[in-house]
Structure 1
Amino acid sequence: MSLDPQVEALLAQLSENPAPKLWDIPLADARATYDGMAAVLDLPDVPIGKTEDIVIPGPAGDIPARIYTPVAGGGAALPCLVFFHGGGFVIGGLGTHDALCRTLANEAGVRVVAVDYRLAPEHAYPAAAEDCYAATAWVEQNAGDLGIDPNAIAVGGDSAGGNLAAVVALMARTKKGPQIAFQLLIYPTTDFTDAEQWGSRTQFGEGYFLEKETMRWFESQYMGGNDAARSEETASPLGARDLSGLPPAYVITAGFDPLRDEGKAYADALNAAGTKAEYIDYPGMIHGFFNMQGVLDVARDAVKVAAAKLAAALAD
């Protein structure tokens, strides 16, 4: 296994001009650093049929969200992807994942509802999970007004957002709603309990964009000192006692991603429990590559494949 040449060139460029460690700078600067990097690495100006910024009632106040209608989407009821952005539960937002949401909407022919859930450390666990669940339930309840088919709603996200998508699917099963048809899990973090058991966290913990110290910082900010909750299924879905009866999933990992092993383990655990999970690894890629469509050819191809899987699942 070797790095994709475009990834290798990108990492070399980043090593020549290293960004500050996120935990060493003020939180506002950390968020601005991530925003700036997203703007440089992703596709600029992706055409879209329509975007609309809205607010969704949440458990602690309004949740900002953005609805993407694909090109030629029109006013007909469409399948929907409720999308949760990555960023370690601490950074990221609607802007950092705008290009990805636009691409998924267009390629899959779905409305995407991107959720700007509460971030840590201001809002520690389980605030993000509660917001994401509430937003998904609201989308189903208001499907008619939103132009969404209530029988064709998926959840998805990358990294921390992949964790939240998996968690929302578990919460929806427990609470007997909303009805979720599919999970799109892009290099999800699935285990907060024992990071050292995952070889990829050690093997690729330095020098491959996402580093293990950054992950530790993210996790500590999100958990807010409540380490006893790390084993709860709404934090670590891989540790859920029962993974049966969940929506089918498409699980994506990257070969040089510290989160690779736990992502694959989650796909394996879903299948072992009788929940259909299709797994794919992009061996030459690094964490975050779905947001690097502007510089990585494989990223553009991978997003198109994921969109096709989403479209097919919601058409069944």
Structure 2
Amino acid sequence: MSLHPDLAAFLELVEFGRATGKILPMHELSVEQARREFELSAQVLDPDPPQNITVTPLQVPTRDGARLPARLYRAPRSALEGCPVILYFHGGGYVVGSLDSHDRVCRRLALATGHAVLAPAYRLAPEYRFPTALHDAQDSADYLMAQAGALGLAADRIVLAGDSAGATLATLLALAAAQPHPPSAFKPVAQLLFYPVADASVRYGSAQAFGEGYLLESETMDWFYRHYLEREEQKHDWRVSPLLSKPAGALAPAYVSVAQYDPLHDEGLAYAQCLQRGGTAVELRVEQGLTHDFLRMSGVIDGVDGLYRAVAQWLQRQV
């Protein structure tokens, strides 16, 4: 299928901006500039997010004494005590992204699914390199388990979720939860993995085919890794490339959603197939005509609401 017409028109505007020097690719920006531009993009991609959501600021303690800002999102349907909760990690290559850049995604997930959504702001590189983001994700899961009752959430109905690098963090928590030694008290009931980063160790065909001109670019992925990792060989660490992991068995059921025109398309498919071979129940969706970051594009692409509804329908069968 060709590019979605709305997305094709948007990409033409981006290319025009580059040609005139008004827009630079992320990998040509400083970290500070890239973060600022990524924040501003949320207002362009989704200017009219749902407002009938209650948002509660929280603080998540970490193993090294820091406190992570976090937000708990509740739609009217999730106001009841003991409701299921989605633990959501934002994307951004471990370098950009924030609670603000993905505020609209969390609002839309809460509204569509009826689940509460807890979004922690894990620390970013290069200030905090690998594996700080993973440790922050693990500490966020521990916090949720410990505080679920006080927050009116169900500790036995936690869904792991994230997009891009955030989806990678979700996969790593799901893998850890399935390890038999030592047994983990954290047992997610499902995973929502949107265009996950699954394997940094090789460059797949989709990275060659869609690595330029489709929003996320292969050079930007390299830029992310240079900031996140201390050494090139860390790309072969399963905590960076979960496709290289050896799951002990079936993991929590997974909803894996990848975009047709995404440099990460092939590794997302490969990870879904890896899960299936290990016995995990997988709902694999290839979103035709779309690119990376489609969850944030409700103001650009007609039909994104339908993608959220599909997630909600799948979750109803799992939780």
TM-score range (shorter-chain normalised) is: over 0.9
Match of 1:28 in 2: 32
Q: Give yes or no for contact 1:184–1:310 (8 Å, CA) kept in 2.
A: no
TM-score (norm 1): 0.95
Establish whether residue 208 from structure 1 lines up as the match of residue 217 from structure 2: no
Looking at structure 2, the residues matched to 278 and 57 of structure 1 have their Cα atoms a distance apart, in angstroms, of: 34
Give per-residue Cα distances to partners, 1:106-126, cap 9 Å, x unaligned.
Answer: 111111001100001111111
Taking only the aligned residue pairs, the percentage that are identical comes to 36
- AA in 2 matched with 1:115: P
State the Cα distance separating 1:23 from its structure 2 match: 3.1
Q: 2:242 aligns with which of 237, 242, 251?
A: 237
**2:190 is the counterpart of 1:182:** yes
Go from structure 1 to structure 2 and tell me whether the alpha carbon gap of 1:270 and 1:45 turns closer, same or farther (over 3 Å shift): closer
* CA distance in structure 2 between the partners assigned to 1:103 and 1:41 by the alignment: 14
Structure 1 segments of 4+ aligned residues over 4 angstroms from their partners: none
1:299 Cα offset (Å): 2.0
- What does the per-residue CA deviation read over 1:202-224, in whole Å, with 9 as the maximum and x for residues that have no partner? 0000111111000111112111x
Which residue is 2:60 aligned to? Answer: 56
Most deviating of 201-210 and 225-234: 225-234
- Cα deviation, 1:184-237, whole Å, max 9, x if unaligned, reads 000001001112xx11000000111111000111112111x2223222221111
Name the stretch that deviates more: 30-39 or 305-314. 305-314
**Distance (Å, rounded) in 1 between the aligned partners of 2:316 and 2:70:** 22
Deviation at 1:277, TM superposition (A): 1.1
**In structure 2, what is the equivalent of residue 302 of structure 1?**
307
- Unpaired runs of at least 5, structure 1: none
TM-score between both structures, scaled by the size of structure 2: 0.94
Whole-Å separation in 2 of the counterparts to 1:8 and 1:139: 40
Supply the AA of the counterpart residue of 1:80. Answer: V
What's the CA shift string for 1:243-291, capped at 9, x where partnerless? 6231110000000000001001111000001111110001200011110
Number of equivalent positions: 311
CA distance in 1: counterparts of 2:47 and 2:252, whole angstroms: 30
| 2:25 aligned with 1:17 | no
Shift of 1:304: 1.9
1:125-274 alignment, distance < 5 Å: 125-174=130-179, 175=182, 176-195=184-203, 198-223=204-229, 225-242=230-247, 244-274=249-279
1:154, 1:311 → 2: CA distance? Answer: 12
Q: What residue identity is the alignment partner of 2:57?
A: D
The structural deviation recorded for 1:43 is 4.3
